[in-house]
C-alpha cells in the first residue's frame, strides 16, 4: 500500500465533501438534532402515575395508606371516587393508569390482626409500564403493612420487634435511577453507526453514476488505497460527530463521565472505521446511489436500533435473535461507551468488545477491497 496514493484519494474525497456544504452541515447537524429529539422524547422513567383512589373504609388507617400514595413521587393522585365503575371508566378513557381500591372492612381486619387486602387495578395495555407501576404500588402497600405490624407488635409486647434480616439497597452507577443515563450512551452509538454507514454508502455508487469509477480503477491506485483513502476523508467528519455527541451527552443531559477519555477516543475510532468500511462495502455492492442509501438504512439503522440493546434488553430476546445481535457493531460500542461513561471501567473489562470491533473493521475492509478488485478484473 502506497501512502502517497492513499493521501491523494483522501484529498480527492475531502474536496467532494467540502464542495457540498449542505451535506456536510447535515452530517454534522444530524447527531445534534437526533440526540436532542430522542434524548428528551424517549423517557423510560415510570413516575407520576395517574391514579384514582376508591376508599371504601373511610378510616384513619385507610387515610394513612392514602397519604403513602400521595407522598410518593411515583404516583399522581387524580382524585377520589366512590365506586369501581369510576376507576374502570378512567382506565377506558386513558385518563388514569392505575386505581387503588380500599375495601370497607380494611381497618377492622387490621385491628383484629387478620389479613387485609387492597386491590390494585392497572391498565395493562403497556405491559412493561404496567408491571413497573404494579411493583411501585405493591412496595407502597407492603411498606405500610410492615409499619402497622411493627406498631402492633410494639403495642402488645412493649418493645420493638427483632428483625433478623434488614435489606439495605445501594444502586451503583445510576443512583438516581434516571433512564437518560442509560439511553443517551446507547443513542450515541446508534446515531454514529447510522450516520457513518450512510455517508460512505454513497461514495463508490456516486463514482459509478458519474462515470469516474472506471477511470479511477484504471489508475495505479490499488483498491485497498481507494477504500482507505475514502474512509479517512469521512473519518474526520465522524470524529466531529462523536465529539458533538459526547459533549451533548455530558453537558446537556448530564450523563456522568467516570472513565478514560483516551480509551473512549480509541474505541470510538475503531467503531467509526468499522461503520465507514461497512458503508463503503455497501457502496461497492449497490448499483445506484438510491439503492446504496436503501441498503445503508437497512443494514445500519434497523439493526442498531432494535438489536444493539439500546431500547430492548438482549437478554429478553429469543435465542435465535440473540445470536444475530453478535453481528451488530453498535451492540459492542454501546456496551463500551456505557462502561466508560457510567462505570468507569477499562480495557480489562471491555477487551472482548474491543476485539470484536477490530475484527469486524478488518473483515469489512477486506471485503470492500475484494469487491473493488473484482470490478478491476
Give residue 335's pLDDT: 92
Q: Looking at residue 52, what is its pLDDT?
A: 92
pLDDT in tens, 155-171: 555 555 444 445 565 66
Residues of the chain with CATH 3.40.1710.10: 49-157
The confidence score (pLDDT) of residue 163 equals 45
Residues 6+ apart with CB under 8 A from 169: none
Closest C-alpha among 89, 92, 88, 100 to residue 49? 100
CATH topology of domain 49-157: abc type-2 transporter like fold (3.40.1710)
Q: Cα(97)–Cα(34) distance, rounded to whole angstroms?
A: 30
Residues of the chain with pLDDT under 50: 161-165
Q: The pTM is what? A: 0.78
- Rounded to an integer, what distance in angstroms lies between the CA atom of residue 359 and that of residue 48? 46
250 three-state secondary structure = helix
**Can you give the pLDDT at residue 12?**
86
Q: Residue 338: CA atoms inside 13 Å, Cβ hemisphere, count?
A: 22
pLDDT tens-digit map of 210-268 = 777 777 777 788 888 888 998 999 999 999 999 999 999 999 988 999 999 999 999 99
Amino acid at each position: 500500500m502506497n501512502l502517497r496514493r492513499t493521501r491523494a484519494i483522501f484529498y480527492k474525497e475531502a474536496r467532494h465533501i467540502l464542495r457540498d456544504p449542505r451535506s456536510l452541515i447535515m452530517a454534522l447537524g444530524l447527531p445534534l438534532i437526533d440526540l436532542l429529539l430522542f434524548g428528551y422524547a424517549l423517557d423510560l422513567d415510570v413516575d407520576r402515575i395517574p391514579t384514582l383512589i376508591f376508599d371504601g373504609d373511610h378510616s384513619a388507617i385507610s387515610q394513612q395508606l392514602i397519604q403513602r400514595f400521595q407522598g410518593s413521587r411515583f404516583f399522581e393522585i387524580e382524585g377520589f371516587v366512590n365506586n369501581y365503575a369510576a376507576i374502570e371508566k378512567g382506565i377506558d378513557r386513558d385518563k388514569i393508569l392505575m386505581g387503588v381500591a380500599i375495601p370497607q372492612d380494611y381497618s377492622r381486619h387490621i385491628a383484629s390482626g387478620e389479613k387485609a387486602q387492597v386491590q390494585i387495578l392497572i391498565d395493562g395495555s403497556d405491559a412493561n409500564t404496567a408491571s413497573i407501576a404494579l411493583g411501585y404500588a405493591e412496595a407502597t402497600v407492603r411498606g405500610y403493612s410492615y409499619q402497622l405490624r411493627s406498631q402492633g407488635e410494639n403495642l402488645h409486647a412493649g418493645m420493638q420487634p427483632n428483625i433478623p434480616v434488614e435489606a439495605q439497597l445501594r444502586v451503583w452507577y445510576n443512583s438516581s435511577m434516571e433512564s437518560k443515563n442509560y439511553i443517551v450512551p446507547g443513542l450515541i452509538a446508534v446515531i454514529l453507526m447510522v450516520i457513518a454507514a450512510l455517508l460512505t454508502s454513497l461514495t463508490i455508487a456516486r463514482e459509478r453514476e458519474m462515470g469516474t469509477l472506471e477511470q479511477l480503477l484504471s489508475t495505479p491506485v490499488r483498491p485497498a488505497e481507494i477504500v482507505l483513502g475514502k474512509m479517512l476523508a469521512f473519518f474526520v467528519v465522524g470524529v466531529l460527530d462523536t465529539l458533538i455527541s459526547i459533549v451533548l451527552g455530558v453537558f446537556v443531559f448530564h450523563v456522568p463521565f467516570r472513565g478514560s477519555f483516551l480509551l473512549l477516543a480509541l474505541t470510538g475510532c475503531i467503531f467509526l472505521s468499522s461503520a465507514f468500511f461497512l458503508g463503503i462495502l455497501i457502496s461497492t455492492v449497490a448499483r445506484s446511489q438510491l439503492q446504496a442509501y436503501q441498503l445503508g438504512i437497512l443494514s445500519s439503522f434497523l439493526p442498531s436500533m432494535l438489536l444493539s440493546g439500546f431500547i430492548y434488553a438482549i437478554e429478553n430476546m429469543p435465542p435465535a435473535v440473540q445470536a444475530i445481535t453478535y453481528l451488530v457493531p453498535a451492540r459492542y460500542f454501546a456496551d463500551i461507551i456505557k462502561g466508560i461513561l457510567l462505570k468507569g471501567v477499562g480495557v480489562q473489562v471491555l477487551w472482548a468488545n474491543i476485539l470484536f470491533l477490530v475484527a469486524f473493521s478488518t473483515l469489512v475492509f477486506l471485503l470492500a477491497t475484494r469487491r473493488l478488485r473484482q470490478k478491476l478484473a
